[in-house]
Amino acid sequence: MIPVKGVEGQKVAVLGLGRSGLVAARALRAGGAVPVCWDDNPAAREAADAEGFAVVDLARARAFEGVAALIVSPGIPHLYPQPNPVVAAALEEGIPVDNDIGLFFRSVATQDWHNYEVEPRVVAVTGSNGKSTTSALIHHILVEAGREAQLAGNIGRGVLDIDPPEDGGVVVLELSSYQTDLARALTPDVAVFTNLSPDHLDRHAGLGGYFAAKRRLFAEGGPDRAVIGVDEAEGLYLANQLGEAPGDDRVIRVSVGRKLTGAGWLVYARKGFLTEWRKAKQVGSIDLRQIKGLPGEHNHQNACAAYAACRSLGLAPRVIEKALHSFAGLPHRSQLIAERDGVRYVNDSKATNVDAAAKALGAFDRIRWICGGLEKEGGLDALLPATASVAKAYVIGREAAQFAVQLRGVETEVCTDMARAVERAVAEAEPGETVLLAPAAASFDQYDSFEKRGDDFAACVRAQLGA
């Protein structure tokens, strides 16, 4: 655990007692604070009470008397579409509002670091799509290279739940826009921006607010190195803002859209080959086509970002290449579930928005596509150019018929539930095709999470195949 610094003897309120909130309360107590906790869920309050925390309704009058700060869990709105009433009360009274990410960055460094031969490093990854795979891939490469590394944040453990890093250790954090938007301290050594596509727009009052939340990771603390995906205008702008000159290699530009040129530090993938250029010379090249855990252009982008981050930490290209081959991928992200009679069954339940689904579709040649769910803002028009490889779509979700109507030019079948969709796709799939779950929608109309949806897909596939 990372005990929180600078809170000894202070009364600190914690709103939201899920995974990150309860860990924050423990870390605050370990740092000498007196946490007072609240969650609208009675079960969460009971869990906090069982650990000896004071449970106080923070919405009641004078709840903030003597409170030094409010720590808010990432799922609780603090500004848009409107602040949670407890957050609004704290803002009104001038109580500093923070989250566990802010507490981590102000607490992770210890006096022991001055005695280490190599100071620990923090790598933080954000972006719209691919940040989980990129984070896990960086962690995997470091471990395979013999480096002490921990994975936390929006993936794995809560940031305050990890062990204090040892000599030369690396902490790899996946950070969502919800986390970067509120944190009062953001000081990674290496910061990674994968890409940007419309998502969570209601929470950030539009695309500009969403990008601004991501940008804070780079603007607030000034990382020693920034790895920036430049295939969107926002990434190009961010890279330009951070670089002092064309050859400034504190910024590593990454692309899978084109060959990058210039005097800077560049990593790009074209036709399945990753290339690294530095000081106008090629210094590394990897054939990504043979790496089974990273299929498709979107995973090649993840590989480029992870490669660049690991190169900035001093790892050699051949060490990174060897580790890439042993990466098995993450569940629910281009995950191969089964292969039978020449047909592959792939679970990409994490493709919850149009951009992620388009990238998933681009990874395979002929697809039996299972899609649908709780549709996000913006409709499906931007997805249509990626559907050329779709032999047929099997649409699930409560509004499956409405979803199917938007897939113009694609043969569709309204199946509504996963079992029916998998049954029909398995029955019609031919050798050389891929049955792909890439919903292009949230899961909450039928499932508690995208993980539950992916697990259901896998179970249905196995049932149909008799596996």
User: Which residues make up the CATH 3.90.190.20 domain(s) of the chain?
Assistant: 335-465
Note whether 143 and 320 are within 8 A (CB).
Answer: no
Tracing tokens 């106008």 back to the chain, one arrives at 280
Order of all β-strands in the sheet with 273-278: 149-153, 170-174, 121-126, 190-193, 225-229, 251-255, 265-270, 273-278, 281-287
pLDDT of residue 92: 96
pLDDT of residue 99: 98
User: Could you say which DSSP state residue 302 is in?
Assistant: H
Topology classification of domain 11-98: Rossmann fold (3.40.50)
pLDDT of residue 293: 87
Neighbours of 88 (CB within 10 A): 15
52: left (phi over 0), alpha (psi -120 to 50) or beta: left
Residue 20, marked binder:
no
User: Which residues make up the CATH 3.40.50.720 domain(s) of the chain?
Assistant: 11-98
Residue 111: pLDDT over 90 = no
User: Which residues make up the CATH 3.40.1190.10 domain(s) of the chain?
Assistant: 108-325
Segment 381-430, tens digit of pLDDT:
999 999 999 999 999 999 999 999 999 999 999 999 999 999 999 999 99
Pick the CATH number of 335-465 from 3.40.50.2020, 3.40.1190.20, 3.90.190.20, 2.40.30.110: 3.90.190.20
Q: According to CATH, what is the number of the domain 108-325?
A: 3.40.1190.10
**Nearest-CA neighbor of 338 among 465, 179, 163, 201?**
465
Residue 376, marked binder:
no
Residue 130, marked binder:
yes
Residue 133, marked binder:
yes
Query: Which DSSP string corresponds to 337-348?
Result: EEEETTEEEEE-
pLDDT of residue 168: 95
Query: Which DSSP string corresponds to 367-401?
Result: EEEEE-SBPPTT-SGGGGGGGGGEEEEEEESTTHH
Residue 296: pLDDT over 90 = no
Q: What is the pTM of this model?
A: 0.88
Q: Encoding tokens for residue 268?
A: 């790009």
pLDDT of residue 378: 81
Residue 131, marked binder:
yes
Segment 59-85, tens digit of pLDDT:
999 999 999 999 999 999 999 999 999
HSE-CB at 186 with a 13 A cutoff on CA atoms is 30
